[in-house]
Amino acid sequence: MEQQKPKYSKSLQRHIVTCPHCGADALDHMTSCPKCKGVLEPQGYSPILNSPAQKKVKKILSIILYAIAAVLLVLIVYERFIK
Ligand SMILES: [Zn+2]
């Protein structure tokens, strides 16, 4: 199994994509080719962040944070006016 010397380490090799425009190596998170500046379609770019479930969780978390902030604000105002 010794045909070619790998140009990149194994962990990096998984992130190497071939540019469809010039055939140069680019990384999968790149949106443009480093050689020809052609547009690349990022593959596997933040798949967790792009999943709808993650987006939903983020939205819920931000709503909870806003709710906590609102409650704190009301409490501060309440304390000031009552005491
Ligand atoms: Zn290219």
Q: How far is the CA of 44 from the centre of ligand 1 (A)?
A: 19
How far apart CA 22 and CA 33 sit, in angstroms, is: 9
Q: Is residue 34 domain-shared with residue 59, that is, in the same domain?
A: no
Q: How far is the CA of 18 from the centre of ligand 1 (A)?
A: 8
* Burial (CB count within 10 angstroms: exposed 0-12, middle 13-18, buried 19+), residue 81: exposed
Q: How far is the CA of 30 from the centre of ligand 1 (A)?
A: 11
Q: How far is the CA of 22 from the centre of ligand 1 (A)?
A: 4
Q: How far is the CA of 39 from the centre of ligand 1 (A)?
A: 8
Decide which of 27 and 66 is more confident. 66
Q: Is residue 54 domain-shared with residue 41, that is, in the same domain?
A: no
pLDDT in tens, 16-58: 889 999 999 998 888 899 999 999 876 655 555 567 788 899 9
Q: Is residue 53 domain-shared with residue 41, that is, in the same domain?
A: no
For residue 70, give its domain range.
Answer: 46-83
Nearest to 17 by CA among 7, 26, 29: 26
Q: Is residue 52 domain-shared with residue 67, that is, in the same domain?
A: yes
Q: Is residue 33 domain-shared with residue 63, that is, in the same domain?
A: no
Q: Is residue 38 domain-shared with residue 51, that is, in the same domain?
A: no
Q: What is the pTM of this model?
A: 0.41
Number of domains in the chain: 2
Q: How far is the CA of 32 from the centre of ligand 1 (A)?
A: 8
